[in-house]
Structure 1
Amino acid sequence: MLTLGVVVLGADDVPRAVGFWRQVLGYELVEGGFGGWANVLAPPAGGPGARLALQRSETPPQPRPRLHLDLHVADAAEQTAEVRRLVGLGARQVAWDGYPADPDFVVLADPEDNLFCVVDLGHG
């Protein structure tokens, strides 16, 4: 039976990416790697959430990736606060041309230009 092992993000500067995502998610760096990956972040103390691996990539991020991370928050106030915090950590808000009329998500890019969303789960 298959299980999802890790989600992998490419990066030009792997140490910078590891530092950014550790701060974003509060994850811990797995000593000795995991599943063949050297740079794996995991939830603290075996908590819930997928593991995230960071690898060196020589290809640029896609402007409209088919796969991206959605980070969930409970409501609009938490979304605003988290977007502000993430921008303070080095993310940037993306001028996304695909927003619906009343979006429940905000598109950001990490310091490596990988796109991800902060989604308000309390949005109508």
Structure 2
Amino acid sequence: MPVMLRLGAVVMSVSDPRRAGAFWTEALALDPDPRDPAFLVPRGATPGTRLHLDADDRTHLDLWADDRADRDAQVERLLLLGARRVEWDYPDDADFVVLSDPDGTLFCVIG
């Protein structure tokens, strides 16, 4: 199976999203996403990794799959590589799976 995951977002835990957003938009030439200003996106038409500033979440990576079936296949692939499932209180409509890498660092697979 070809690798279909992409680094969709880096979620950064911040105490003040507005202040952090002002800093990171200038530091990395990012703009607030018009659909959700908590996400900062590369300026212009260039797609790239988003920076998600969140006061309620811990810092982690969001890996994006193409869809739910691909997400589930990628989760299985990552488990074979040494990732572990993490007990999580998922909302009913969750589009993500929380895993940890072999060192225990959490990340999400979204699809």
SS at match of 2:87: coil
Distance 1:67 1:81 in 2: 24
| Aligned residue runs from structure 1 range 1-124, under 5 A | 1-3=26-28, 66-97=58-89, 99-120=90-111
Runs of 4+ in 1 over 3 A off after TM superposition: none
CA RMSD of aligned residues (A): 2.2
Q: Percent identity?
A: 54
Q: Tell whether the 8 Å contact from 1:65 to 1:115 is kept in structure 2 after alignment.
A: no
Q: Which blocks of at least 5 consecutive residues in structure 2 are unaligned?
A: 1-25, 30-46, 50-55
SS at match of 1:102: coil
Distance 2:27 2:68 in 1: 36
Residue 49 of structure 1: how far off its partner (Å): 5.4
Q: Which blocks of at least 5 consecutive residues in structure 1 are unaligned?
A: 5-47, 51-63
Count of residue correspondences: 63
CA distance change for structure 1 residues 65 and 91 in 2, over 3 Å: closer, same or farther?
farther
Distance 1:90 1:65 in 2: 24
Counterpart amino acid of residue 96 in structure 1: W
